[in-house]
């Protein structure tokens, strides 16, 4: 609490320093060309010298203070009565810390109640020391900054250097995130592969992570049915829907539609891409799946399930339509006008030109777009969670329930079990596979698009 107050005080000091330095710099101004930097930059320079060292000191103190408080509390005479068993000790101490932070809470454990006063005392003491330290650093920094205010001081250069450092840190966040994803997936998947052999995982056909039977635990973690379900739903059924509809929409919009119609139809089509996947999932489960079940019963299937690969795949395909359409749109637009003009001039009709000239020329771009669409479809979660089902099976019947990689990740991580069981960790192994596959699809597709653009430039 003290440290939060000090943070505000430091910010206030920074503001005061900004105004003070600017005012001082203005006094130094003796006409055009007499100073290197404008007074505002002197203000910023001063404010930086107050804020940056003080915030660093604050952060350091924030990090080491709990250790110091803990040390002081254990040195207190009241700590002599504490239990020695590390487990109970930890429970008592964490309760005592909660009590110290929240006076309204009732003590459950008398030993914890006894520790509250020493904790509060130590927290106040070290809080005050920290506050004093931070303020001293701020004032020292400010003092140094203030002495630098001279007509020939290059305050702007210094401030701009700081700005550039901030920009650089912001752009490194992307690399940090990528690194974080790779590291956390590899680490947790590594723990998983200690128990389960990677080969059994990637080639086994039996998936029942909940069962503990069987001699080798690896036998229960064969992920091939999940990969098949993912490919069947995301890359086959969804694409059978999305490729023709998306491609034909793009052809109509770019080649036939009047500009006014295009102006209205294209944004309407894009609404499909903006609808949250949970809404699609609900729609699939509520409306599409029962229709498909009735249809399956109608063509003589026995006991068709409500959850089917077809329902999930169909709805997913519709979701992907605008994506395929806009990728195809780009690919068609990249084909030079002269090619289709030449074909039209030879007397072919528009549809012949599209089929014989435009589509073959745009094919690499369209294929890349389809690859990106597949990578999006196989990573899609909510639709399959709500409509595809949990049964891991290798089947080519679209009316069967099937499960996917993303469904199983959700399934493994939303139950209530300890974190380090192979069942939970398998989610990270599946995540790693998903990440690698989508990464490869994306990189290849982007490369194809780039080549393709260059070919026509």
Partner 1 sequence: MSKSDWNSPEAVKRLAKRHAAERRFKAIGLGAIVLSLAFLALLLFIMLRNGLGGLDWTFLSGSDSTDASVAGVWGAAKGSLLTMLVTLLISFPMGVLAAIYLEEFAPRKRWIEWVEVSINNLAAVPSIIFGLLGLAVFINTLNMPRSSPLVGGLTLALMTMPVIVISGRNAIKAVPPSIREAAYGIGASKVQTTFHHVLPLALPGILTGTIIGMARALGETAPLLMIGMRAFIATPPDSLTAPSSVLPMQIFLWSDEIDKAFVQNTSAAIIVLLVFLLAMNGIAIYLRNKFEVRW
C-alpha 267 chain-centroid distance: 27
Question: Minimum Å distance from CB 61 to partner 1?
Answer: 19
Question: Minimum Å distance from CB 394 to partner 1?
Answer: 23
Those residues whose C-beta lies under 8 Å from the C-beta of residue 353, and which sit 6 or more positions away, are 340, 343, 344
Q: Which is nearer to partner 1, 5 or 267 (CB)?
A: 267
Q: Is 153 helix (H, G, I), strand (E, B) or coil?
A: coil
C-alpha 131 chain-centroid distance: 36
127-145: buried (b, 16+ CB within 10 Å) or exposed (e) per residue? beebbebbbebbeebbeeb
207 φ/ψ angles, rounded to the nearest 5 degrees: -120, 105
73-83: buried (b, 16+ CB within 10 Å) or exposed (e) per residue? bbeeeebeebe
Cα(39)–Cα(427) distance, integer angstroms: 57
Please state, as a whole number, how many other Cβ atoms lie within 10 Å of the Cβ of residue 106.
Answer: 6
Q: Which is nearer to partner 1, 20 or 432 (CB)?
A: 432
Question: Minimum Å distance from CB 129 to partner 1?
Answer: 26
Q: Which is nearer to partner 1, 136 or 279 (CB)?
A: 279
Q: Which is nearer to partner 1, 84 or 171 (CB)?
A: 171
Question: Minimum Å distance from CB 190 to partner 1?
Answer: 12
Question: Minimum Å distance from CB 403 to partner 1?
Answer: 14
Cα(362)–Cα(384) distance, integer angstroms: 32
Q: Which is nearer to partner 1, 136 or 164 (CB)?
A: 164
Q: Which is nearer to partner 1, 113 or 411 (CB)?
A: 411
Q: Which is nearer to partner 1, 135 or 257 (CB)?
A: 257
Cα(277)–Cα(312) distance, integer angstroms: 11
Sign of CA dihedral 190, 194, 199, 200: negative
Cα(10)–Cα(55) distance, integer angstroms: 8
């Amino acid at each position: 609490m003290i440290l939060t107050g000090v943070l505000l005080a430091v910010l206030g000091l920074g503001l005061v320093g900004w105004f003070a330095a600017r005012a001082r710099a203005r006094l130094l101004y003796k006409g055009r060309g007499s100073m290197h930097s404008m007074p505002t930059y002197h203000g910023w320079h001063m404010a930086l010298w107050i804020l940056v060292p003080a915030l660093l000191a604050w952060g350091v103190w924030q990090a080491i203070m709990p250790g110091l408080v803990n040390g002081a509390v254990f040195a207190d005479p009241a700590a002599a009565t504490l239990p020695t068993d590390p487990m109970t000790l930890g429970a008592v101490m964490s309760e005592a810390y909660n009590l110290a932070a929240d006076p309204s809470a009732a003590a459950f454990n008398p030993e914890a109640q006894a520790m509250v006063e020493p904790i509060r005392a130590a927290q106040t003491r070290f809080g005050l020391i920290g506050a004093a330290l931070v303020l001293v650093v701020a004032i020292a920094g400010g003092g140094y900054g203030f002495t630098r205010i001279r007509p020939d001081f290059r305050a702007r250069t210094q401030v701009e250097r700081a700005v550039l450092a901030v920009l650089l840190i912001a752009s490194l966040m992307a690399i940090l995130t990528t690194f974080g994803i790779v590291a956390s997936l590899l680490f947790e998947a590594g723990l998983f592969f200690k128990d389960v052999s990677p080969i059994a995982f990637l080639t086994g056909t039996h998936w029942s992570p909940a069962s503990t039977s069987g001699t080798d635990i690896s036998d229960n973690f064969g992920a091939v049915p999940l990969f098949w379900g993912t490919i069947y739903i995301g890359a086959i059924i969804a694409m059978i829907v999305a490729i023709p509809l998306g491609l034909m929409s793009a052809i109509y919009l770019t080649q036939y539609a009047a500009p006014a119609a295009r102006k209205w139809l294209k944004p309407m089509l894009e609404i499909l891409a903006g609808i949250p996947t949970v809404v699609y999932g609900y729609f699939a489960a509520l409306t599409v799946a029962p229709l498909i079940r009735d249809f399956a019963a109608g063509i003589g299937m026995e006991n068709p399930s409500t959850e089917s690969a077809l329902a999930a795949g169909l709805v997913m395909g519709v979701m992907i339509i605008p994506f395929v359409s806009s990728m195809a749109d780009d690919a068609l637009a990249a084909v030079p006008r002269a090619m289709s003009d030449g074909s039209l001039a030879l007397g072919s009709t528009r549809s012949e030109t599209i089929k014989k000239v435009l589509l073959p020329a745009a094919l690499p771009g369209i294929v890349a777009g389809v690859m990106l669409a597949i990578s999006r479809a196989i990573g899609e979660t909510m639709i399959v969670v709500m409509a595809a089902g949990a049964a891991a099976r290798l089947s080519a019947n679209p009316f069967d329930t099937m499960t996917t990689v993303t469904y199983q990740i959700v399934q493994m991580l939303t139950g209530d079990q300890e974190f380090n069981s192979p069942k939970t960790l398998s989610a990270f192994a599946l995540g790693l596979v998903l990440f690698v596959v989508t990464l490869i699809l994306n990189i290849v597709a982007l490369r194809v698009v780039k080549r393709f653009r260059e070919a026509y430039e």
